[in-house]
Amino acid sequence: MPMGTFPVAGLASFPGSGNSWMRSMIERATGYATGDIYHIPNQEKDFVGEMRNVAAGETIVFKLHDYWKGFTNKRDGQISIQKAILIIRNPYRALIEDFNRLGYGKQRPIDENRFRSEEWSKFMTETFKFSRWLKLSRTLMDMCNHHAPTAPCKAIHIVYYENLETDLKNELLQIIKFLDIQVDERRLSCAIATSESSPHRPLKQPHLSFDPFTQEHRARIDEDMKTFHQWLDSEGLPHPPPAFNN
């Protein structure tokens, strides 16, 4: 769309949480292109807005995994998000998904040997060093502008990956409304009907035959999840479904 058509809206998530899949679903359900702060040329064949300036308001949302005040990149300049959809997935499953993706791409089976390697240990160390799963949520929640102490945050819309797996239609409907786009029932139905054919949807990976997380890993992740729940309470945002905590 022409520059300035849309507010600058992020589609944010920790890697491995279904961001590319949701881009595809949003495009099908609304008819508008989505963008990506990473501008990956070989993804233009799937996303026509891949290389567009995400700060220009030409795309309805844009993909990102990291964000902070004054965020700048070479292609887009300074990016000031006005609103954001935050996709949250159980961090244990997201970490496994992301580590697998880094080794083999989006749609490859898990190689358990990689989770026994030093590479896995380094991956977890780097994740904790930058608090990536938790930090993105806090940064976006700081965008909230409350008119009263008990008013819920209107700047972000939280989508739980576990709800996408069980009630995709309703979750897409809420996303469309949050983006202030008129619902097109035909498009919405088409998106739902073709969701399984999306080449970007993460495959349901089989469970590992062993627990790759150490006691130290679990203590840190569980503490981050506890903190996240506390933030939800303080901002009046919805809590995750039971499947998130399992």
Q: Within 13 Å and on the Cβ side, how many CA atoms surround 182?
A: 2
Q: Which two tokens stand for residue 127?
A: 């994740």
- CA 125 – CA 114 distance, rounded (Å): 15
- CA 220 – CA 243 distance, rounded (Å): 20
Predicted pLDDT of residue 225: 95
pTM: predicted TM-score of the whole model, two decimal places: 0.91
- Of 145, 160, 113, nearest to 236 by C-alpha is 145
Predicted pLDDT of residue 203: 47
Predicted pLDDT of residue 78: 86
Residues 55 and 79 sit within 8 Å (Cβ to Cβ): yes
3-state secondary structure of 65: coil
Predicted pLDDT of residue 197: 67
Fold of 9-239: Rossmann fold (3.40.50)
Q: Which two tokens stand for residue 241?
A: 């479904």
Cα 187 to the chain's mean position, in Å? 22
Domain ranges for the chain: 9-239
Mean pLDDT split into 10-residue runs, the chain, 246 residues = 94 93 95 95 92 95 87 85 94 92 66 91 91 90 71 86 94 96 94 77 65 96 95 89 89
Predicted pLDDT of residue 246: 80
Looking at the DSSP bridge assignments, the partners of residue 35 are 62
Predicted pLDDT of residue 102: 83
Residues 18 and 87 sit within 8 Å (Cβ to Cβ): yes
Predicted pLDDT of residue 205: 57
Looking at the DSSP bridge assignments, the partners of residue 239 are none
